[in-house]
Amino acid sequence: MNTADLGLPVDVPSTALFTDRYELTMLQAALRAGTAGRRSVFEVFTRRLPEGRRYGVVAGTGRVLDAVENFRFEGRVLDFLAHHRIVDEPTLHWLADYCFRGDIWGYPEGEVYFPGSPLMRVEGTFAEAVLLETVILSILNHDSAVAAAASRMSVAAGDRPLMEMGARRTHELAAVAAARAAYVGGFATTSDLAAGFRYNIPTVGTSAHAFTLLHDNERDAFTAQVESLGSDTTLLVDTYDVADAVRTAVEVAGPKLGAVRIDSGDLLLLAHRVRQQLDELGAKDTKIVVTSDLDEYAIASLAAAPVDAYGVGTQLVTGSGHPTCSMVYKLVARAGSDDPRAPLLPVAKKSMGPKASVGGRKWAARRVDADGVAEAEVVGTGEIPPDLADRQLLVELVRGGEIVAREPLDAARDRHAAARAGLPLSATQLSRGEPVIPTEYLRA
């Protein structure tokens, strides 16, 4: 099964080498020691949110499921490992038959999270689960960072739509993942055609300054665009003089011109001037789109301006100053033998610094107040208290190696909007602050 099962056109190639070498050397040593088959539980979590953030956003879950399903050591991959003597012959034979046969639980995509939240729980033998560490963290750290930035920008934009335009500001494959994560976080469209092709995200785009500069004058450029794309197109009006361009745009397209885009200058001032000019020219329904290095703070500063949509690039695809979520993948429980009936023993790293972890296989629930507003993230081991049983956050994603929780991307997008709406109002403040709700631990 792959993304094509959702009606999407792209299969995922083998992800087996999207990993760090030490995952394979640990596997080799564990196979030799006879401990590789011990039942184990790994958990993904973060010890803290990026500075100033009030909540995190889970994104990339669907991509993780694709990556796990396609984590296969094919012939050329095994040849590479053998040629460079990365692992020994017995390990190569073991890898040739590898596929994940365990279980994965996790916060559903689009859900919000907090420090200590067990975002994903991977259960299987040590050997099969340890290999997935790097690829899972790579996906979740990147996508969740972009989705968190997108969510903050969505809050700042209110009802005005956001367009993702960051493909040229990041790696070409990261751009596709970023567009997907931005859509989960609240963006409406993307300029990246690969993201539209792969994930069925609506795409947008009309012209750049190069198109205007190609022609002898602005009127010729606007005429060519309108004749090709219709009067409902968006004309870029800041190549030369904005006022002159707006006047020419309405003369060429008529009062039914779809939109004008401003990509430079004092956006607040220009938006007011352009709106007044459009209205005076009879183009009262023509929208104003602004771009130009926007982030959530710049978007918020334009809240009172007559802006109809925002295009965001660099700050979005780089997590608006926080390009990773610092998530980790830690062994929290393991059996004492290969016997599948052997009880799980909690294990944890002890550290004098901030890197200590909490052992034990965990559940998570969100406690709400009488009005249904979240008041605490409760994380525990053992039996969950009855009053929290219907508030559990982890859902089954993989059962016995089979994907059981694929869903359309719109489901994750809708889930995020609902989860964010269930937080205290202070969650939407852009000012720096602590996580909007505390994390409480209950030990068995």
DSSP 252-272: HH-TT--EEEE-SS-HHHHHH
pLDDT in tens, 80-92: 999 999 999 999 9
Question: Pick from 27, 12, 18, 26: which is nearest to 95 by CA?
Answer: 27
Question: Is a pLDDT exceeding 80 seen at residue 441?
Answer: yes
Q: What is the pLDDT of residue 9?
A: 62
User: Per-residue confidence at 175, pLDDT binned at 50, 70, 90?
Assistant: very high
The pLDDT of 212-226, averaged and rounded, is 98
User: Per-residue confidence at 432, pLDDT binned at 50, 70, 90?
Assistant: confident
Question: Is a pLDDT exceeding 90 seen at residue 318?
Answer: yes
Q: What is the pLDDT of residue 3?
A: 57
Q: What is the pLDDT of residue 301?
A: 97
The pLDDT of 373-399, averaged and rounded, is 96
Question: Is a pLDDT exceeding 70 seen at residue 212?
Answer: yes
| In the chain, % of residues over pLDDT 70 | 96
Question: Is a pLDDT exceeding 70 seen at residue 440?
Answer: yes
According to DSSP, the β-strands at 374-381 and 439-442 are: parallel
Q: Determine phi and psi for 425, rounding to 5 degrees.
A: -60, -30
Q: How many residues in total does the chain contain?
A: 444
Task: Give Cα 293 to chain centroid, integer Å.
Answer: 20
Q: Which positions ≥6 away from 160 have C-beta within 8 Å?
A: 307, 308, 309, 310
> DSSP 3-state assignment of 335?
strand
User: Per-residue confidence at 330, pLDDT binned at 50, 70, 90?
Assistant: very high
According to DSSP, the β-strands at 374-381 and 162-164 are: unpaired
Question: Is a pLDDT exceeding 70 seen at residue 201?
Answer: yes
The pLDDT of 168-192, averaged and rounded, is 97
Orientation of helix 218-229 relative to helix 242-253, angle to 10°? 40
The pLDDT of 218-230, averaged and rounded, is 98
What average pLDDT does the chain have?
A: 95
| Beta bridge partners of residue 335, listed in sequence order | 344
Q: What is the pLDDT of residue 1?
A: 41
Q: What is the pTM of this model?
A: 0.94
pLDDT in tens, 356-370: 778 999 999 999 999
CB 350 within 8 A of CB 359: no
Question: Is a pLDDT exceeding 70 seen at residue 397?
Answer: yes
CB 275 within 8 A of CB 255: no
| Rounded alpha-carbon distances, angstroms, from residue 306 to 164, 289, 302 | 20, 10, 8
Place of tokens 């009488």: 370
User: Per-residue confidence at 45, pLDDT binned at 50, 70, 90?
Assistant: very high
- 304 — alpha (psi -120 to 50), left (phi > 0) or beta? alpha
The pLDDT of 163-183, averaged and rounded, is 96
Question: Is a pLDDT exceeding 70 seen at residue 149?
Answer: yes
Q: Which positions ≥6 away from 202 have C-beta within 8 Å?
A: 188, 189, 190, 196
Across 158-197, the runs of DSSP E, i.e. the strands, are 162-164, 189-190
Q: What is the pLDDT of residue 197?
A: 95
